[in-house]
Structure 1
Amino acid sequence: MADEDDEDIGGGKKVSGKKLVLFILLPLLVLAGAGAGVYMSGLLDPILNPGASEEHVAEEEAPNEEEAPSGPGVFVPLDEMTVTLRSAGSKARYLKLQLTLELEKAEDEERVRAVMPRIIDNFQVFLRELRVEEMEGSQGIYRIREELLTRVNQAANPVKVKEVLFTDMLIQ
């Protein structure tokens, strides 16, 4: 007598239901899941809809009016700052810094000067928490520049500061 899980296939061989699930249905489910994952990830978009990818590339290449590169902006030099850096030892470390802000429009200069105490305060709070190790190399300086740019744009909002430029930097 045959079990209920066994099925009689063509040539008289009996295949159990467990083997049927294991060798046929399970691989089909895995392939269907993999196909759905590839489809959802967007890897098939260029194949399934070639016109949409070209439109998307054209949108990325077209510069926005806001992001259009303009000529050099207006430069506003800041007063020299000297801050005490955070150090683990008993020896105090100092950072002497001279910065210049690049603005997009000349009319923004007066607005920036009006909030200059807030900008200097934001810079001082950030710079005092730095350690000498964090300023090593170009990557450290780049990170500091990006943080200062974020802080100046928050303080000078709605004025847009394009760049924070290091005029002089001395660690002692």
Structure 2
Amino acid sequence: MSAAPEAAGANEAAKEGGGRKTLLLLGLPLVLAAAGAGLWFTGILPPLLGMGHPQPAAEAVAAAAAPRPPAFFDMPEIVTNLNATGRRPVFVKLRSKLEITRAEDSAAITAAMPRLLDLFQTYLRETRPEELRGSAGTHRLREELVARANIALTPPPGSMQPAPRVTDVLFVEILVQ
């Protein structure tokens, strides 16, 4: 009788050892695959395997590093009244240039000119003369006109053409009278 319990204990020990081996044989490849995927998707593994992005030629690097000169678009002169209190009207005369990212966008700006002038004049008519005084007033005016220009130049929905981008409004003349 003592032989049977010893044999049963030996079989259980063998089963536990076999279970550990099976777990080790199945689990180790899964852990290695997960670690490899983590290294791959973080971008560490491809350069180590020589699969990184090919190094660009020196000319391509120089061309990419050289900034494109800005292009300027002359806006027509705007003369409109301001939102002044009192009986005497106050007018503003504004001549400006738009700084755009690409010279090719001039045609799109010309096509959107009625919308652009409408947004500029509407904003100016709601502006009080006190808001245009000083460099802070000019800075606020510039920011508002850049925002409105970019709104006016957005292409219609569904259009595949890239939107022209206005980076700055340069004032040639501002006269408040």
Separation in structure 2 between the aligned mates of residue 98 and residue 162 of structure 1, nearest angstrom: 17
TM-score by length of 2: 0.57
- What's the C-alpha RMSD, in Å, of the aligned pairs? 1.4
Structure 1 stretches of 4+ moved >2 Å: 68-72
Structure-2 residue corresponding to 1:96: 93
Q: Give the 3-state SS of the residue equivalent to 1:107 in structure 2.
A: helix
Larger strand proportion of the pair: 1
Aligned residues: 105
Task: Select 1:106's aligned residue among 75, 92, 103.
Answer: 103
Which residue identity does 1:116 align to in structure 2? M
Task: Measure how far apart 1:70 and its partner are.
Answer: 3.0
Task: Measure how far apart 1:104 and its partner are.
Answer: 0.7
TM-score by length of 1: 0.59
Q: Give the 3-state SS of the residue equivalent to 1:127 in structure 2.
A: helix
Cα gap change, 1:131 to 1:153, in 2 (>3 Å): same
Q: Give the 3-state SS of the residue equivalent to 2:137 in structure 1.
A: helix
Larger helix proportion of the pair: 2
Specify every segment of 5 or more residues in structure 2 that has no aligned partner in the other structure, as ranges. 1-64, 155-162
Structure-2 residue corresponding to 1:156: 153
Which structure has the larger Rg over C-alpha atoms?
2
Task: Measure how far apart 1:140 and its partner are.
Answer: 0.8
Separation in structure 2 between the aligned mates of residue 144 and residue 117 of structure 1, nearest angstrom: 20
Task: Select 1:78's aligned residue among 70, 75, 92.
Answer: 75
